[in-house]
């Protein structure tokens, strides 16, 4: 993902043209040398975390304006892992907090506030490493030696810097840089800049402070996942001919051209080699579906569903590391049972089949969507209403969150915002907001899935057979894993799922929840609601106004 870059003040733009970086590097005493190699030295470290805080004080017509931005980069090269975080301010003065990461092929998004972690597999939407904090530092000549210090456990030589170190005219500068005694990489950078207006009144008067610091440098350590982000399921293999692989926390899905018997034999051999119980793995089967269960002595379980259609077997592996499924499946395939798939899996997977995942559209050609969501909060409650029209990869959405309304379009890969009744080019942030909002729905539906959903008599909706599941039970603890600042307890209601595609058509759920603060302590208890309705299936078209 192309994350927002820091906006630079006008009086500082001259630096880029005024400063040319020399790659002479450091040899012995670096005083007087450009510190280019100190930046490059970071690229040789297997692991490090770097933070940059930029504080700007600028004169304006309204007085002195002070803004502060922060960017953080954490890298684990052996694990092919990188996370970057931006805490900035947009053009309207609102804060933007966004963390994006990649661990091999798993992509992560964490959008500030109380939002939870969104996980993608092998999705080009996530691109990180473009906001290396060192890239925002101005090249400097190291000044006089200023002693030796230890910064975050790293022995370093300190050097003073000033306006001459910067090599730019008309700007006052003062600060210090710290270079690692071993490795010669940049450990810390402190620079204060002051600019004044030109005699004719042009230019911008103000101050800027850049504070850069490296920590956890050097050694190989386990990946530190931010917030509630978790590793995806990688220790259970897919078959050699697997295609369309998707790995998420507690879940593996793929397509195989192998028959169900061969896939079952593959997993029985694999789990038997681990010492798991495989004697009674086959729970139930039909001509086109099988349900398998494997368990270890330590209590870990893997539920595997196999579904064969047109020569392709769809395989889904769910583990109780992050269980989304409810009770055991019914052997009866009543109109509302969903066949062999676990009832809880039918419920929790229905949203992705409606809205799509992995950059692919959902199962329905087009539809209208209405969502009303009420979540308890530490003070009062949060209310969200969404109206959307979706046609393939095109989407028109109107969000109203706690009384504030925004309207946007996605047409293919292009994004638009509605301003003054007209569509204007927007940013990918609109798509990110849409994806992050779905975390609320997934969390609540996951709680419903764990509350022992029961298949009832099927119905017909808009001429389509519908599977109906009744929800009434207790969600066992914090299934959201911190995705929401609430822990759902008792939950009840009804979920309608399209029999043919598995897409969600309706949800009418009420629940009780404890509101959590950072650290996990309860702050309040309240009631919540989720109402989802799909309509006009196959009758919606989406185009810019």
Distances from the Cα of 242 to the Cα of 292, 359, 482, angstroms: 18, 19, 32
Q: Quick one: tokens of 174?
A: 């003062």
- Which tops the pLDDT comparison, 65 or 238? 238
Given a cut of 50, whether residue 2 has pLDDT beyond it is no
Distances from the Cα of 314 to the Cα of 166, 303, 353, 359, angstroms: 60, 14, 14, 19
Distances from the Cα of 126 to the Cα of 103, 106, 121, 129, 240, angstroms: 11, 9, 10, 10, 27
Quote the CA–CA distance of 505 and 499 in Å, as a whole number. Answer: 10
pLDDT-based confidence at 396, cuts 50/70/90?
very high
pLDDT-based confidence at 325, cuts 50/70/90?
very low
* Contact indicator for 6, 136 with CB cutoff of 8 Å: yes
Q: Which of 244, 516, 215, 204 is nearest to 375 (CA)?
A: 516
pLDDT-based confidence at 8, cuts 50/70/90?
very low
If 0-12 CB within 10 Å is exposed, 13-18 middle and 19+ buried, where does residue 95 land? Answer: exposed
- Burial code (b: 16+ CB inside 10 Å, e: under 16) for 271-310 equals beeeebebeebebeeeeebbbbebbeeeeeebbbbbbbee
Distances from the Cα of 404 to the Cα of 276, 407, 422, 464, angstroms: 53, 10, 18, 36
* Contact indicator for 98, 85 with CB cutoff of 8 Å: yes
* Contact indicator for 238, 70 with CB cutoff of 8 Å: no
pLDDT-based confidence at 188, cuts 50/70/90?
very high
* Contact indicator for 16, 189 with CB cutoff of 8 Å: no
- Which tops the pLDDT comparison, 452 or 84? 84
Count of residues making up the chain: 545
For the entire predicted model, the pTM comes to: 0.55
Find where tokens 């230019």 sit.
203
Given a cut of 50, whether residue 414 has pLDDT beyond it is yes
Given a cut of 70, whether residue 42 has pLDDT beyond it is yes
* Contact indicator for 82, 106 with CB cutoff of 8 Å: no
Given a cut of 50, whether residue 376 has pLDDT beyond it is yes
Instruction: Give the pLDDT score at 491.
Output: 93
pLDDT-based confidence at 372, cuts 50/70/90?
very high
The distance of Cα 523 from the centroid of its chain, to the nearest Å, equals 26
Quote the CA–CA distance of 432 and 428 in Å, as a whole number. Answer: 6
Q: What are phi and psi of 335, to 5 degrees?
A: -55, -20
- The proportion of the chain whose per-residue pLDDT surpasses 70, expressed as a percent, equals 77
pLDDT-based confidence at 330, cuts 50/70/90?
very low
Quote the CA–CA distance of 511 and 508 in Å, as a whole number. Answer: 10
Q: Which of 511, 504, 502, 521 is nearest to 444 (CA)?
A: 511
Chain segment 270-303, per-residue pLDDT in tens = 999 999 988 888 887 888 888 888 988 888 888 8
What domains are there in the chain, each with its CATH number?
10-215 (2.50.20), 232-322 (no CATH), 333-535 (2.50.20)
The distance of Cα 185 from the centroid of its chain, to the nearest Å, equals 31
Chain segment 509-532, per-residue pLDDT in tens = 999 988 876 445 567 788 999 999
Strands 206-215 and 381-391: unpaired
Instruction: Give the pLDDT score at 397.
Output: 93
Instruction: Give the pLDDT score at 214.
Output: 92
């Amino acid at each position: 993902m192309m994350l927002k870059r820091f906006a630079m003040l006008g009086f500082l733009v001259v630096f880029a043209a005024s400063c040319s970086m020399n790659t002479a590097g450091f040899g012995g005493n670096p005083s007087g040398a450009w510190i280019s190699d100190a930046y490059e030295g970071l690229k040789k470290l297997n692991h490090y975390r770097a933070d940059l805080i930029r504080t700007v004080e600028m004169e304006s017509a309204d007085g002195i304006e002070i803004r502060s931005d922060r960017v953080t980069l954490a890298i684990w090269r052996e694990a092919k892992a990188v996370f970057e975080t931006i805490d900035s301010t947009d053009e309207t003065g609102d804060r933007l907090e966004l963390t994006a990461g990649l661990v091999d092929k798993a992509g992560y998004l964490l959008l500030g506030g109380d939002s939870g972690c969104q996980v993608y597999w092998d999705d080009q939407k996530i691109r990180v490493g473009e906001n290396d904090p060192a890239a925002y530092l101005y090249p400097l000549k190291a000044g006089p030696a200023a002693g030796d210090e230890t910064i975050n456990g790293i022995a370093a030589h300190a050097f003073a810097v000033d306006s001459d170190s910067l090599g730019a005219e008309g700007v006052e500068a003062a600060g210090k840089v710290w270079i690692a005694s071993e490795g010669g990489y940049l450990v810390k950078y402190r620079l204060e800049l002051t600019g004044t207006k030109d005699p004719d009144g042009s230019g911008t008067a103000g101050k800027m402070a850049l504070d850069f610091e490296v920590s956890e440098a050097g050694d190989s350590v386990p990946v530190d996942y931010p917030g509630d982000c978790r590793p995806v399921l990688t220790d259970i293999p897919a078959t050699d001919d697997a295609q369309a692989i998707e790995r998420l926390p507690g879940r593996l899905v793929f397509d195989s051209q192998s028959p169900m018997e061969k896939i079952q034999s593959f997993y029985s051999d694999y789990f038997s080699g681990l010492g798991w119980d495989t004697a009674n793995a086959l729970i139930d089967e039909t001509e086109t579906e099988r349900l398998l269960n494997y368990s270890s002595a330590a209590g870990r379980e893997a539920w595997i569903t196999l579904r064969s259609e047109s020569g392709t077997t769809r395989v889904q592996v769910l583990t109780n590391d992050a269980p989304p499924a409810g009770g055991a499946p019914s052997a009866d395939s009543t109109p509302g049972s969903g066949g062999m798939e676990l009832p809880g899996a039918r419920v929790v997977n229905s949203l992705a089949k409606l809205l799509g995942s992995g950059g692919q559209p959902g199962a329905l050609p087009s539809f209208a969507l209405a969502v009303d969501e009420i979540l308890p909060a530490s003070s009062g409650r949060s209310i969200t209403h969404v109206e959307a029209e979706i046609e393939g990869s095109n989407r028109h959405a109107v969000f109203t969150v706690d009384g504030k309304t925004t309207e946007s379009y996605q047409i293919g890969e292009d994004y638009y915002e509605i301003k003054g009744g007209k569509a204007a080019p927007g940013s990918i942030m609109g798509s990110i907001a849409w994806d992050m909002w779905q975390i609320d729905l997934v969390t609540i539906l996951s709680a419903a899935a764990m509350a022992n959903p029961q298949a009832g008599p099927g119905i017909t909706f808009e001429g389509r057979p519908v599977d109906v599941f009744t929800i009434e039970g207790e969600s066992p603890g914090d299934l959201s894993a911190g995705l929401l600042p609430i822990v759902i307890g008792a939950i009840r209601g009804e979920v309608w799922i399209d029999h043919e595609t598995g897409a969600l058509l309706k949800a009418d759920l009420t629940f009780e929840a404890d509101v959590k603060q950072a650290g996990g302590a309860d702050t309040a208890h309240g009631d919540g609601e989720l109402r989802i309705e799909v309509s006009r299936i196959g009758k919606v078209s989406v185009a810019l106004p």
